[in-house]
């Protein structure tokens, strides 16, 4: 499915003639946003957390618990993500993450608050256990959105974060082996290896219909030092629009960030797609533009809209995501767009 450009332009032109209009769902949209805000009149969504991968379930459950204790969605997102960042057995996030080609663990993270459309982000930060918290500090304590590398680290230390070693013995040994087996050419880039990256992106909605999100990763295993992926890029690995919905990404960041992936998913929802449809449409749109075939892109999206509808899609089979609210907590198969295996539509809107 692709966005019908003629229809979209026609709609935009019609809308431009007036300052506001009523959408098919009976909601008023602004002239600049010919959007269909999800209709919340017939349902009241419970506080809901959605996160990438099966390990996201534990993080979502922690987030719901923290929300119950503090009433703060930002605390919930931040400390839910702490669970994954603290897990040394997870080779793709926080401590225990696969290092870069020089043997240093470099972390990327970002956080967004829908109601005030604020964002904070850090990239390539080393020796800090919870980059998601540094991203939150950037959002709340600085006039900036993003800090990188040494600057991000120095900021974290000045904020009272502790310096720790993120490289576990297991990952150090694996890195030694990787180094020994890698081609000697100094400019040889690390090989793409799907087993060497996973990320936590978490989206949250409260009963007031406010949306939040966070994302944290150690990125592409054995990446060139200084490489930044999509995860800390607002609109790439995460995007939250409080009027519409939120989206997050996991997969090969280079293929997400060249297309403003999470922003694109939210824009698809703005145009009336369900979360699962929006994830699928964004991937198909990316595949139309990208020289790579859809199967090669290795992109997975999760999405949550203002009505509490959630969904996900991935370029290949095997992407699973977690959803937790007061009623259930489960791991769901994302819709797979691989021609070889058409997966079930695992969202809650058909
Ligand atoms: C990155 N998108 O750094 C991240 C890695 C990831 O599943 O999500 N892997 O490119």
Regarding the beta carbon of 219 and ligand 1, being less than 6 Å apart is answered yes
User: Tens of pLDDT along 252-281?
Assistant: 999 999 999 999 999 999 999 999 999 999
User: Tens of pLDDT along 126-162?
Assistant: 999 999 999 999 999 999 999 999 999 999 999 999 9
Output 14 or 67, whichever has higher pLDDT.
Answer: 67
Answer for the pair 226, 104: CB distance below 8 angstroms, yes or no. no
User: Tens of pLDDT along 273-309?
Assistant: 999 999 999 999 999 999 999 989 999 999 999 999 9
Q: Is the pLDDT of residue 39 over 90?
A: no
Calculate how far, in angstroms, residue 148's C-alpha sits from the geometric centre of ligand 1.
Answer: 17
Residue 210's pLDDT band, with cuts at 50, 70 and 90, is very high
Regarding the beta carbon of 220 and ligand 1, being less than 6 Å apart is answered yes
pLDDT value for 194: 54
Calculate how far, in angstroms, residue 240's C-alpha sits from the geometric centre of ligand 1.
Answer: 19
Mean pLDDT confidence for 59-76? 98
pLDDT value for 182: 77
Residue 198's pLDDT band, with cuts at 50, 70 and 90, is confident
pLDDT value for 342: 44
Ligand 1 mutation pick, 93, 226, 231, 249, max ligand atoms within 8 A of CB = 231
Q: Which is nearest to 274 in space by CA: 202, 348, 209? A: 348
Instruction: Tell the residue number behind the tokens 């994830």, with chain if given.
Output: 279
Q: Which is nearest to 121 in space by CA: 168, 161, 173, 156? A: 156
pLDDT value for 316: 87
Pick the catalytic residue: 199, 250, 276, 315?
199
- 70 in active site: no
Ligand 1 mutation pick, 52, 56, 109, 252, max ligand atoms within 8 A of CB = 252
Global pTM? 0.86
Mean pLDDT confidence for 7-11? 37
In the chain, the percentage of residues whose pLDDT exceeds 70 is 80
Q: Which atom of ligand 1 is nearest to the CA of 252?
A: 10
Copy the structure tokens of residue 97.
Answer: 């993450």
Mean pLDDT, the chain, rounded, equals 86
Q: Which is nearest to 346 in space by CA: 336, 269, 251, 206? A: 336
Instruction: Tell the residue number behind the tokens 């506001």, with chain if given.
Output: 20
Cβ neighbours, 10 Å, residue 233: 25
Please provide the DSSP assignment of 182-221 as one string: S-S-TTPPPPP-GGG---EEEEEE-TT--EEEEEEE--ST
Mean pLDDT confidence for 170-198? 73
């Amino acid at each position: 499915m692709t966005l019908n450009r003629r229809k979209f332009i026609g709609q935009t032109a019609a809308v431009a003639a007036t300052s506001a209009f009523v959408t098919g769902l009976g909601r008023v949209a602004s002239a600049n946003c010919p959007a269909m805000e999800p209709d919340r009149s017939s349902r009241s969504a419970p506080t809901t957390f959605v996160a990438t991968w099966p390990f996201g379930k534990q993080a979502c459950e922690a987030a719901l618990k923290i929300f119950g204790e503090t009433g703060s969605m930002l605390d919930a997102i931040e400390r839910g993500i702490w669970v994954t960042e603290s897990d040394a057995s997870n080779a793709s996030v926080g401590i225990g993450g696969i290092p870069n080609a020089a043997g240093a663990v470099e972390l990327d993270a970002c956080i967004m608050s829908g109601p005030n459309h604020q964002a904070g982000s850090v990239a390539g930060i080393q020796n800090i256990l919870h980059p998601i918290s540094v991203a939150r500090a950037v959002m709340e304590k600085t006039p900036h959105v993003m800090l990188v590398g040494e600057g991000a680290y120095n900021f974290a230390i000045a904020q009272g974060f502790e310096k720790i070693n993120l490289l576990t013995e297991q990952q150090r040994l694996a890195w030694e082996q990787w180094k020994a087996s890698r081609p000697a050419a100094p400019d040889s880039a690390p090989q793409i290896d799907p087993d060497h990256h996973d990320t936590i992106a978490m989206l949250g909605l409260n009963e007031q219909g406010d949306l939040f999100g966070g994302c944290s990763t150690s990125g592409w295993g054995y990446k060139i030092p200084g490489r930044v992926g999509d995860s800390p890029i607002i609109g790439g690995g995460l995007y939250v629009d409080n009027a519409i919905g939120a989206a997050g990404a996991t997969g090969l960041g280079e293929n997400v960030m060249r297309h403003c992936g999470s922003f694109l998913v939210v824009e698809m929802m703005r145009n009336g797609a369900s979360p699962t449809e929006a994830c699928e449409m964004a991937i198909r749109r990316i595949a139309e533009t990208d020289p790579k075939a859809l199967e090669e892109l290795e992109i997975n999206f999760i999405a949550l809209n203002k009505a509490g509808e959630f969904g996900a899609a991935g370029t290949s089979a095997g992407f699973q995501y977690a959803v937790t609210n007061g009623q259930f907590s489960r791991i769901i198969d994302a819709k797979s767009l691989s021609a070889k295996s058409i997966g079930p539509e695992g969202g809650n809107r058909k």
